[in-house]
Structure 1
Amino acid sequence: MGTISVFVYLPECTGDHVQQQPEGVIATEGGLVTLSCQYNTSANNNAYLFWYKQEENDFPKHMLTRFSFGSGDNAGGFKGRFDASLNAKTQSVPLTIQRLQLSDSALYYCALQPTVAGNLCTLYKNL
């Protein structure tokens, strides 16, 4: 069994923003991991949250979308082992990855709509 390293991006923002756990997570192949994502938005009644996966030397890939009303959906390659539930009361949308594989080692981003336009702290952090 191999070791899986999962990292998250931690923005430093005020106003509408997301906050993820500040360090990487080490897990065992075949196990389960849950990555936290707390959000704060002025549109609490209609929040849209996204999870992205970025592998080394690659661009972020959209994994799934969750919103306050309805269940959202998972992108094509992220069905089955990947799940998230948006909880508007606690303002969280944790990502759970089951049956971990070595290919799950990556950087994971939680994003709040709007992901760039209107979210200047994220835009400036990525420049």
Structure 2
Amino acid sequence: LLIHLFLCMFSSSSECKGADRVIQPTGDVIAAEEDTVTLDCSFETSGTNYYLFWYKQDGNNSPKFMPSRIQGNDGNTPDEFQGKFSSTLDSTSKSVPLKIQKLQLSDSAVYYCALGQ
């Protein structure tokens, strides 16, 4: 059984600021149940105080907040996402990949990476 994980770009800022943006590969990520996948997200920002967020949106539901990283700190992860989902901010490469373990059909969704200040 294949699982489709859709990637999109999303910015949590209400106004665009210069070069501040997230970059995610477009298209589907296809994997089998029980696989582990890593969704890439890199970012550009001129700011020094920034936050990176991941959101999951399935079906017609509103996006759900997932692991948050604040300049390399652990941030906070809602209980329903702990263990299965993990993310670490790399300030050097300016990336915050999301790792999803033991994929299930319920993991099929649109995953948004967001940058805020």
TM-score normalised according to structure 2 size = 0.89
Give 5+ residue unaligned stretches, structure 1. Answer: 115-127
Q: State the SS of the aligned residue for 1:74.
A: coil
Match of 1:123 in 2: none
- What is the Cα deviation at residue 92 of structure 1? 0.1
Q: Residue type matched to 2:104 in 1?
A: Q
Deviations 1:71-95 (A, max 9, x none): 1121121011100010000000000
Report whether the alignment pairs 1:108 with 2:111.
yes
Deviations 1:40-61 (A, max 9, x none): 1112x43310000000111100
How many residues of Structure 1 are paired with residues of Structure 2 in the alignment? 112
Match of 1:58 in 2: 61
TM-score normalised according to structure 1 size = 0.82
Q: Residue type matched to 1:97 in 2?
A: I
Report whether the alignment pairs 1:31 with 2:35.
yes
Q: Residue type matched to 2:3 in 1?
A: I
User: 4+ runs of 1 displaced by more than 4 Å?
Assistant: none
Match of 2:13 in 1: none
Percentage of matched positions with identical amino acids = 47
The one of the two structures with greater contact order (alpha-carbon pairs below 8 A, sep at least 6) is 2
Q: Residue type matched to 1:6 in 2?
A: L
- Superposition map of 1:1-127 within 5 A: 2-10=1-9, 15-43=19-47, 45-114=48-117
Query: Take 1:59 and 1:34, find their aligned partners in 2: how far apart are those partners?
Result: 22
